[in-house]
Amino acid sequence: MFKFASMLMTPAAKYLMLAFAVLFPLVAANEYQVYVMATAFVWAIAVYGLNIITGFCGQLNLAHGGFFAIGAYTLGLLTADFGWSFWPAFVAALVTTAVLGFLVGIVSLRLKEHYFAIFTLCVGFIIYLLIDKWEELTHGAIGVRDIAAPYGFGVVDFTDTTPFYYLVLAFLVFAIWFMGRLSKSLLGRTFLAIRNGDELAQSLGINLMRNKVLAFVLSTTYAGLAGALYAGMVRFIGPDEANIQHTFDMITYLLVGGIGTIMGPLLGTIGIVWITQSLQFLEEYRMIIFGPLLVLLVIFFPRGITGSFLTWMHRKSQALVPGKKREESKVNTVQPREAESNA
Amino acid sequence: MLKVEHLTKMFGGLAAVNDVSVEFETGKINAIIGPNGAGKSTFFNLISGMHEPTSGRILLGGVDVTKLPSDKVARLGVGRTFQTTNLFEQATVLDNLIVGHRLRTRSGLWDVLINSKRLQREEKSARDKAMEALEFVGLTHVAGQFIADITQEERKRVAFALALATDPKIVLLDEPAAGINPEETVGFAALMRKMVDEKGLTVCLIEHKMDMIMSLADKIMVLDHGEKIAEGTPEEVRNNPVVIEAYLGGDEDAAA
């Protein structure tokens, strides 16, 4: 069992997962399944963004869904109303979410902990209201139609589901690759130090504001990337994309998968999207199954699937190699003391 | 090394630290004692830049650091530990320590994206620094353990190592021996002495354990109600009637 478990975390396992993702459209029962998987990948990218600011940096950002919508609307409006083609609009969507992320970040990150969460909750709602009510720009409740699909430079046609699936997969792989590199780097460690506590981080010479804003901008850019891909995929968006519900869905994916881990956002998102899909026939009653499932997960895997798994693995490996030695030496130092007290 | 002139911090109408002037010499162990609520921790927070003083000046090696934020003060060589240190429980001791040297590195987002030479070099130096600090506090054998799996005493040593990894010139230790047994306390006293003797650091600590202070400190400052009421060698402080009155003489209830 242990051998099997350690195999799961090797680079080989990651290539295996990648191979599965690449082959998935070939083995999928129908196009709809490919579409669902592509949707799950899009959400996973957004959840990776949330993981940077909330998982690594410890700041619960409840405006994340709002930035997803800003990415989607930037792409949607530029292509549908202003006649831009997809890729320039795509870049503009990333820049817009990054710039707005910076502006929101420098204001909201002055607040700490739950004040920050409440403030960003309001920001998220304001984004929703702007999209819903600013009809001259956003068409309000009617939404945006005729969004351009990405053009494939004459090589591929991204209006088909499968090519689009691969496009999303490519961005997802990049998102995970960057997350992996970030987490191991000094910059990622800086974010983690902030999560451990503002005061401690400052005493280590870390500039809180600069690093928090950087993490925030990275996270909103991820959200914008996911939103833009989403708009290019569904080609029709409405104010509901900014619904706060999406933010809480993403937090659920993150918690289930494992907050602050590399593979957690992916596993959590894909797992829940597919469970939700397979319970679709139950309609509203699916929550009867889904609810208890979540409760069990929180009880038995408080750190999410990936987090709990990694902890378990580490304990195993420590018990096998140097930790054991330590256990023995510990026993040796304890025993004489016990003998004394017995005497 | 560290010179404090007429330092005052008001919280509303209350003077938490009131007109304190003191000088801590290089390579000495300086203790700050006083009853609960005497302003000891506030004094540390002022020096480390966590709070801005209401009035007075703080000079670090001749440089005025009075108005600097704590991250800048840390970069100028002030390391500190807290009464409780929040570490990343589900990460190894070594992983927790690597960030300690971050303030001496410059790699940013771009270095992460292209995995630059600078980033690789700095990550190696941060790791080496962490190992060095771990060795100094005598914890190399738990480098690979999760923080959640080590003892209370080892956690305190990790907190020391984290402060040491910042390459400080002076370390502020807030109750380093709180919550550990007498045997371990002796070990910590030895460790502080080693910081001074081997690294040439200036140590400044807040402590309630009198046995330890009296045998360890080169110089003691006594605070009471935010004011400095005495200063001197352990011998002088021990025999100072004002101190005995305020603190040692068992009149603690009146003082508190």
- The candidate with the shortest Cα–Cα distance to A204, out of B159, B151, B90, B147, is B159
Give every CB contact of residue A340 below 8 A, 6+ residues apart in sequence.
none
What is the C-alpha radius of gyration for chain A, rounded to an integer number of angstroms? 23
Co-location of B89 and B9 in the same domain? no
How many whole angstroms from its chain centre is CA B195? 12
| CATH number of residue B40's parent domain | 3.40.50.300
Q: Do B68 and B195 fall within a single domain?
A: yes
- Quick check: B100 contacting A, CB < 8 Å? yes
Task: Tell me the ipTM for this assembly.
Answer: 0.90
Nearest in space to B84 (alpha carbons), one of B178, B13, B1, B165: B178
**One domain for residues B94 and B202:** no
**Pair A239, A9: CB distance under 8 Å:** no
Q: How confident is the model at residue A326 (pLDDT cuts 50, 70, 90)?
A: very low
- Interchain CB distance below 8 Å, B103 and A197: no
Question: What average pLDDT score do residues B78-107 get?
Answer: 92
Same domain (yes/no): B69, B115: no
Instruction: Report residue A313 as tokens.
Output: 């693995």
Shortest distance between the Cα of A165 and any Cα of chain B, in A, equals 25
- Same-domain pairing of B47 and B115: no
Pseudo-torsion of CA B227, B233, B236, B238, nearest 10°?
Answer: 80
Query: In this complex, do A311 and B82 lie within 8 Å of one another by their Cβ atoms?
Result: no
Neighbours of A293 (CB within 10 A): 15
- Closest CB to B112 among A182, A206, A310: A182
Residues B152 and B175 in one domain: no
Residue A288's pLDDT band, with cuts at 50, 70 and 90, is confident
Nearest CB among B80, B111, B144 relative to A203 is that of: B80
At B171, list the tokens: 């370390």
A231 near A237, Cβ under 8 Å?
A: yes
Burial class (CB in 10 A: 0-12, 13-18, 19+), B79: buried
Residue with the two structure tokens 């350690």: A6
B154 in contact with chain A, both atoms CB, cutoff 8 A: no
Q: Measured between CB atoms, which of A204, A311, A323 is closest to B90?
A: A311
* pLDDT per residue as tens digits for the range A223-282: 999 999 999 999 999 999 999 999 999 999 999 999 999 999 999 999 999 988 888 888
Does the structure show a pLDDT above 90 at A53? Answer: yes
Q: Which residue has the tokens 């046609």?
A: A157
Is the minimum CB–CB distance between B70 and chain A shorter than 8 Å? yes
Range of the domain at B163: 84-167
User: Please, which pLDDT band fits residue A329 given cuts at 50, 70 and 90?
Assistant: very low
* Domain C-terminal end among B110, B133, B167: B167
Which of the two residues, A29 and B129, has the higher pLDDT score?
B129
**Residue ranges per domain, chain A?**
26-330
pLDDT band at B247 (very low <50, low <70, confident <90, very high): low
Q: Is the Cβ pair B102, A192 closer than 8 Å?
A: no
Res A242: pLDDT: 94
Is there a single domain that holds both residue B71 and residue B3?
yes
Across the interface, whether the CB atoms of A186 and B105 are under 8 A apart is answered: yes
Last-in-domain residue among B117, B141, B167 = B167
Is the CB of residue B219 less than 8 Å from the CB of residue B233? yes
Best CA proximity match to A193, nearest among B102, B36, B256: B102
Write down the residue that tokens 């699916």 correspond to: A286
CATH code for the domain defined by A26-330: 1.10.3470
Interface of B with A in 20-49 (CB under 8 A): 48-49
Q: Based on the domain organization, do B105 and B219 belong to the same domain?
A: no
Chain Cα centroid distance, residue A57:
13
* Window 79-98 of B, Cβ < 8 Å to A: 79-80, 82, 85-88, 90-92, 95, 98
Q: Which of B68, B94, B98, B102 to mutate to test the interface with A (most CBs of A within 10 A)?
A: B102
Angle B176-A324-A192 from CA coordinates, rounded to 5°: 50
CB contacts, 8 Å: B71 with chain A? 202, 204-208
Report yes or no: A75 and A89 within 8 Å, Cβ to Cβ.
yes
What are A268's two structure tokens?
């959590």
Domain count, chain B: 2
Phi/psi for A17 (5° steps) reads -65, -40
* Inter-chain touch A200–B86, beta carbons under 8 Å: yes
The domain boundary residue, chosen from B134, B167, B200: B167
Residue A321: pLDDT band with limits 50, 70, 90: low
Q: CB-based contact (8 Å) between B126 and chain A?
A: yes
B103 touching chain A per CB within 8 A: yes
CB contact under 8 A, A318 and B144: yes
pLDDT score, position A9: 57
Q: Does B227 touch chain A (CB under 8 A)?
A: no
**What is the distance between the alpha carbons of residues A102 and A95, in angstroms, rounded to a whole number?**
10
Q: What are the residues whose beta carbons fall under 8 Å from the beta carbon of A131, sequence distance 6 or more?
A: A69, A73, A138, A140, A239, A241, A242
Best B83, B107, B112, B118 member to test A by mutation, with max A CBs in 10 Å, is B112
Q: Looking at the structure, tell me whether residues B91 and B158 fall in a common domain.
A: yes
**pLDDT for B32 beyond 50:** yes
Count how many residues are written for chain B.
Answer: 256
The answer to whether the beta carbons of residues A55 and A203 sit under 8 Å apart is: no
CB spacing of A202 vs B99 below 8 angstroms: no
B123 and A185 within 8 Å at the Cβ level: the answer is: yes
